[in-house]
């Protein structure tokens, strides 16, 4: 719920700024990892795996900005988000990818200097490799309350994400 709330706050800002947004909740979808079968590279750049990505590919093609949001799981992005990224291989042509602006939003229980080190490094490497242009990054640490480790996100993070959306 923390990441969802952070994302919704960001989207609220984007919508008020006049952007058109389609939110895709990977958590509820079946998104397999890439099988590395290579069929996509031989046949019209279509993925052989039939799952939720079939709905996402057209949305991805149409958008100018990809906002990826994830909780920190074992010091990096979730496997679900990584699967989505891996599956973009299907639409690559000679290792080239569609030009996009990109944003990363994250939440985590910890809140120290190195908490988001790995995903930030990966995000930047991904942008460089795919030719994407980073236009936003927000990492909300300290998203685990002390009461029975209940998850919660500070309002300040939601306000910051909202403002970031307004400024895109
Ligand atoms: C499987 C799992 C792994 C996690 N790994 C980390 C971690 O490595 N570092 C950290 O600070 N928090 C970690 N957390 C805490 C979550 O990142 C944090 O509570 C986050 O805000 C949860 O987001 P959500 O409410 O959107 O699921 C982990 C939580 C789970 C369930």
Question: Which tens digit of pLDDT belongs to each residue from 39-79?
Answer: 999 988 999 999 999 999 999 999 999 999 999 999 999 99
| Mutation test residue for ligand 1: of 3, 109, 144, the one with most atoms within 8 Å of CB | 109
Calculate how far, in angstroms, residue 88's C-alpha sits from the geometric centre of ligand 1: 25
Domain limits for position 45 = 2-167
Please state, in angstroms and rounded to a whole number, the distance separating the CA atoms of residues 84 and 62: 16
Q: Is the pLDDT of residue 82 over 90?
A: yes
Nearest CA to ligand 1 atom 5: 73
Is any atom of ligand 1 closer than 6 Å to the C-beta of 109? Answer: yes
CATH number assigned to the domain comprising residue 111? 3.40.50.360
Is any atom of ligand 1 closer than 6 Å to the C-beta of 115? Answer: yes
Please give the tally of structural domains in the chain. 1
DSSP, collapsed to helix, strand or coil, labels residue 137 as: strand
């Amino acid at each position: 719920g923390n990441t969802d709330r952070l994302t919704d706050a960001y989207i609220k800002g984007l919508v008020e700024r006049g952007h058109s947004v389609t939110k895709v909740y990977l958590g509820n979808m079946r998104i397999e990892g890439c099988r590395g079968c290579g069929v996509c590279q031989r046949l019209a750049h279509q993925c052989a795996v039939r799952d939720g990505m079939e709905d996402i590919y057209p949305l991805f093609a149409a958008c100018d900005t990809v906002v990826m949001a994830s909780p920190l799981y074992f010091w990096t992005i979730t496997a679900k988000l990584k699967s989505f990224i891996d599956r973009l291989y299907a639409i690559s042509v000679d290792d080239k990818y569609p030009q996009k602006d990109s944003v990363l939003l994250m939440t985590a229980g910890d809140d120290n200097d190195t908490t988001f080190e790995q995903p930030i490094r990966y995000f930047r490497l991904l942008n460089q490799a795919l030719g994407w242009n980073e236009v936003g990054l927000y990492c909300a640490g300290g998203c685990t309350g002390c009461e029975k480790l209940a998850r919660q996100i500070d309002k300040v993070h939601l306000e910051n994400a909202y403002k970031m959306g307004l400024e895109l």
